[in-house]
Amino acid sequence: MPQENLRKETCRDELQYIGLRISYFRKMQNMTQAQLAEKVHISKNYLSHIESGSSNKAVSLPLLIEISKALNIALSVLVDLDDFNSSKDKIRQQFDEIKIMFEEMKKFNEDLDKMMSEMDRVNLE
């Protein structure tokens, strides 16, 4: 994958994560999308796209600052990508552990099949 596409994909993932955080903090304050959108002077539809990560355009830093102020949280909390990256690493580690577990189960099933075949062969004799 070319570097440009990889960068866009990574940015899209991070923007989705930031959108989820905006949605989380908004809901924690019992605020509707319409209320937050009005506070930061954008449409409810645009806020919905930001929160879902489906916005076709990048979210500007001034808008993120306004959103963090409207939510009464620090901008650094809103865009904490260290948490995002550590979550991805944890998920990847869990998948690796599950893969190993399935491989061990597969081996166990193969051994069990051999034992059953051996038992069937012994019973036939």
Pair 58, 90 in one domain:
no
Pair 27, 7 in one domain:
yes
Q: Which of 57, 78, 54 is nearest to 66 (CA)?
A: 78
Pair 72, 85 in one domain:
no
pLDDT greater than 50 at residue 79: yes
Percent of the chain's residues with pLDDT above 70 = 80
Pair 36, 96 in one domain:
no
Pair 19, 37 in one domain:
yes
Task: Report residue 1 as tokens.
Answer: 């994958």
Domain count, the chain: 2
**Residues 19-65: tens digit of each pLDDT:** 888 999 999 999 999 999 999 999 999 999 999 888 767 789 999 99
**Residues 6-17: tens digit of each pLDDT:** 555 657 778 888
Confidence of residue 71 (pLDDT cuts 50, 70, 90): very high
User: 71: left (phi > 0), else alpha (psi -120 to 50), else beta?
Assistant: alpha
Q: Which of 112, 73, 116, 110 is nearest to 124 (CA)?
A: 116
Question: Distance between CA atoms of 19 and 23, rounded to whole angstroms?
Answer: 6
Q: What is the pTM of this model?
A: 0.60
Pair 24, 55 in one domain:
yes
Question: Distance between CA atoms of 50 and 15, rounded to whole angstroms?
Answer: 8
What residues make up the domain containing 124? 80-125
